[in-house]
Structure 1
Amino acid sequence: MQHKAQTAAEGNGEAALKCVIDIDTSGAPPAEQFDLYRNWNASLVDITLLRERFKAFAARQRAWQLGNLALVSLEFPGTGYHRRWSGRKNPVFDHWILSVPRTLPAGGGPEQVGKLCWQCLAVPHEEEAEDDGALVLFLPRDFAFSQPVDLAIRPEMAAFIADYIQLLYRSLPDRTERDAEYIAVATINLLAACITPSRNHVFEAEGPINAVIMARANKLIAARLTERDLSPEKLCHDLNVSRSRLYRIFEPTGGISSYIRRQRLLRTRNILVDSTDRRSISAIAEEWGFMDASTYSRTFRREFGMTPKEARETGWLGIKHPWAPPGGPHGDVAPSLNVLLMNSYLAGQL
């Protein structure tokens, strides 16, 4: 992923966004690893282990500078270390921090994401956690819309901000140094719209807000593709957005209905080329909402340049076909976080 970003940046004559900090505890003797991790963060918080001393403390810490913001990824993979951290009595920094806990299920499976937490480093605080890491966004103390003691973030807005921080993190490998300032401005605008909403804040934050809505819509669509009554109306209701806004967000992909149809076609295509699945083509099509065989065949051919039967035959023979890329115009893309994040998210889905 990083190599891809560097190649794209070099082709455009731009430097890929650098990870300015990338350190881990593996180079220290096991008995000294926790002390090393604690020293990394000594200027921010005091950290204590609440269980018996571990033989080792596997941890990795990475950071990206985004204008006057910083995004930090903390990883304690599969350890379940029970930790307490508390604010320093004489704090060196007074930044706001917004953090999203991340946990890996013991039996495997997708990462679980916790609720957004926020704190000002200048205010006394104490927290405990037993997660496998976190994404932490650092913001300057004086960013325009901050309240003096706490941020008044409603639960639904906290969930929205948590989604945005994850989306931002996933987009970093494809970003360039030139993008950093745009990302910082867009992020501040989004937070302003969530914390102290006003007409101006919402207008300025439309790009990143739309990116989060699109990411949420993609998750819902992926989970409900087999539901025959999946419709833009249902998505609008579940996402709590207007029909016009949903259509506007998905316009670059050809429209929401077109996007759903393409995702279903992609699922059927992947099944058809799998020689272990010997169900009839019509049965596979019906599973993914295509009830009329002739309409499905025409749609499939228009999308991929061959019929479902031809796709199955070439797949079963082990012949790789250069599938057509997603439709839509290509060319120079303005440095808009909306476009950057959408493209990054969609690239990970196809």
Structure 2
Amino acid sequence: MENKPTSMAPIEYSTLDFEPKHQFEAISQAVAPICELKKPYSVGNGFRVRYLAYDLCGIDIIDWESEPTISDRSSKLTRKSDLDSWAILFVRSGCRYDEFNDRLVKAGTGDLMLASYAQPWKSHWEGGNLVTVGLDRDTFSWMAPSLDEANRSVLNGPLTGLLRTFISTLVSEAHKISEDQKQTLSRSFSSLLAASLEPTADNLYNATPALNATRLTIAREFIRNNLGQPELSVDFICKSLGMSRRTLYNTFDGHGGVAKYIKTARLQACYKALSDHADLRFVSTIAYQYGFTNMSLFSRQFKELYGFSPKEAHDHAAANRVAPNSSSPTLLEHLCKSTSSSGSSAFDVAV
């Protein structure tokens, strides 16, 4: 029997493991090598902070939930510290203000800020959810000029949305990542970051697998959320996502095409509803909800996919049938498959 790869375990931390009166002191000591924490107000009886941290071959992902804080990485601390890496700060909720070289930089919900720990800074965090993606200097030395130039700036290039999605997906799928997959994801992230900072032809070409997998993640989610829209089509998707037709077709190349994906997703949604015995709606009502206006065509396509009619699914599914696995491959799975072969050309950057 083949052994299933073991997922990497995170490092977990929570100030709730301490008595309320010691919670602020505990997190202050934990981050002391990086910065000094200060209280923006009286913390009262406690200070809630929790994080999950993952090591990904030169990339450290830390998912924070924290109350408001003021942090200060002084010149003195910077000089005596051996920490000189970079980090991408992804504000998932909340707001952060950074003071650097007499500038005030604001990063609000959804923003990505690039930060260097080799230089001093001060920040005011209003509380919420922050993801930090630490970039080891040795691993990313080949990108050092670009990373240093972007220090304490909010990223806003044409690929920022894809980079944001990639980071979000890494956080949500981190518990599934095995030791064997870490190197693949690290390379994919590195190539996508390089293309985001400098979208040259070479960087875009090298980032093709990561770009394709991330665009596919975005497009799949959009399709799943709009299955009931009668106008769901290539043009509708492209207009809604700001994606060119060429990019969309390339994204679904090797996955049966856009139209087939939409049709299959709609049929899967119908199957799920028809198999739910608490759902007493007519077959036709369910079919119309997910975009099917021709019942004969719907019944034929449904039977071709599942081997039985919609009515049979509605009447008998709970008795002796188990719904097929309709989950789509994850970003992680797409990357591990796609990196085994290189893309033939760089995609355009319409997203």
Task: Using structure 2 for the length normalisation, give the TM-score.
Answer: 0.79
Tell me which residue corresponds to 2:184.
182
Tell me which residue corresponds to 1:347.
none
Q: 2:120 aligns with which of 102, 121, 124?
A: 124
For 1:159 and 1:13, locate their aligned partners in 2 and report how far apart those are by CA, in whole Å. Answer: 33
Tell me which residue corresponds to 1:17.
8
How far does the alpha carbon of each residue in 1:57-103 deviate from its partner, in whole angstroms, 9 at most, with x for none? 23222222211221112134xxxx22222323222212111122234
Tell me which residue corresponds to 2:23.
33
Tell me which residue corresponds to 2:48.
58
Counterparts in 2 of 1:320 and 1:254: CA distance versus 1, 3 Å = farther
Q: CA deviation at 1:40?
A: 1.2
* Most deviating of 85-94 and 320-329: 320-329
How far does the alpha carbon of each residue in 1:195-234 deviate from its partner, in whole angstroms, 9 at most, with x for none? 0121111111111111221121122212222111111222
Tell me which residue corresponds to 2:267.
265
Tell me which residue corresponds to 2:225.
223
**1:150 and 2:150 aligned:** yes
For 1:28 and 1:248, locate their aligned partners in 2 and report how far apart those are by CA, in whole Å. Answer: 52
Counterparts in 2 of 1:211 and 1:320: CA distance versus 1, 3 Å = farther
Q: What SS does structure 1 have at the residue aligned with 2:162?
A: helix
For 1:274 and 1:123, locate their aligned partners in 2 and report how far apart those are by CA, in whole Å. Answer: 58
Q: CA deviation at 1:129?
A: 2.4
Percent of matched pairs sharing the same residue:
22
Look up the equivalent residue of 1:173 and give its one-letter code: H
For 2:218 and 2:283, locate their aligned partners in 1 and report how far apart those are by CA, in whole Å. Answer: 31
For 1:136 and 1:86, locate their aligned partners in 2 and report how far apart those are by CA, in whole Å. Answer: 17
Q: CA deviation at 1:328?
A: 11
* Most deviating of 320-329 and 83-92: 320-329
Conserved? CA contact 1:254–1:327, under 8 Å: no
For 1:215 and 1:189, locate their aligned partners in 2 and report how far apart those are by CA, in whole Å. Answer: 17
Query: How many equivalent pairs are there?
Result: 314
Look up the equivalent residue of 2:265 and give its one-letter code: Q
For 1:278 and 1:11, locate their aligned partners in 2 and report how far apart those are by CA, in whole Å. Answer: 43
**1:193 and 2:190 aligned:** no
Tell me which residue corresponds to 2:111.
115
How far does the alpha carbon of each residue in 1:117-169 deviate from its partner, in whole angstroms, 9 at most, with x for none? 22111223222223332211011345322333425732543333221111122
Q: CA deviation at 1:27?
A: 2.4
Q: CA deviation at 1:14?
A: 4.1
Q: 1:82 aligns with which of 54, 68, 79?
A: 68
For 1:307 and 1:321, locate their aligned partners in 2 and report how far apart those are by CA, in whole Å. Answer: 13
Look up the equivalent residue of 1:66 and give its one-letter code: L
How far does the alpha carbon of each residue in 1:11-31 deviate from its partner, in whole angstroms, 9 at most, with x for none? 446443232x22222321111
Look up the equivalent residue of 1:36 and give its one-letter code: A
Q: What SS does structure 1 have at the residue aligned with 2:279?
A: coil
* Most deviating of 274-283 and 22-31: 274-283
Conserved? CA contact 1:304–1:323, under 8 Å: no
Conserved? CA contact 1:269–1:311, under 8 Å: yes
Q: CA deviation at 1:173?
A: 2.1
Counterparts in 2 of 1:278 and 1:327: CA distance versus 1, 3 Å = closer
Q: CA deviation at 1:113?
A: 5.5
For 2:186 and 2:173, locate their aligned partners in 1 and report how far apart those are by CA, in whole Å. Answer: 14
**1:210 and 2:190 aligned:** no
For 1:251 and 1:150, locate their aligned partners in 2 and report how far apart those are by CA, in whole Å. Answer: 34
Q: What SS does structure 2 have at the residue aligned with 1:179?
A: helix
Look up the equivalent residue of 1:24 and give its one-letter code: S
- Name the Cα RMSD after superposition: 2.9
Q: 1:73 aligns with which of 48, 63, 76?
A: 63
Task: Using structure 1 for the length normalisation, give the TM-score.
Answer: 0.80
Q: What SS does structure 2 have at the residue aligned with 1:23?
A: strand
Q: CA deviation at 1:313?
A: 1.0
Unaligned segments of structure 2, at least 5 residues: 95-107, 341-351
Tell me which residue corresponds to 1:282.
284
Q: 2:312 aligns with which of 292, 310, 313?
A: 310
Tell me which residue corresponds to 1:5.
none
For 2:264 and 2:308, locate their aligned partners in 1 and report how far apart those are by CA, in whole Å. Answer: 15
Counterparts in 2 of 1:102 and 1:319: CA distance versus 1, 3 Å = farther
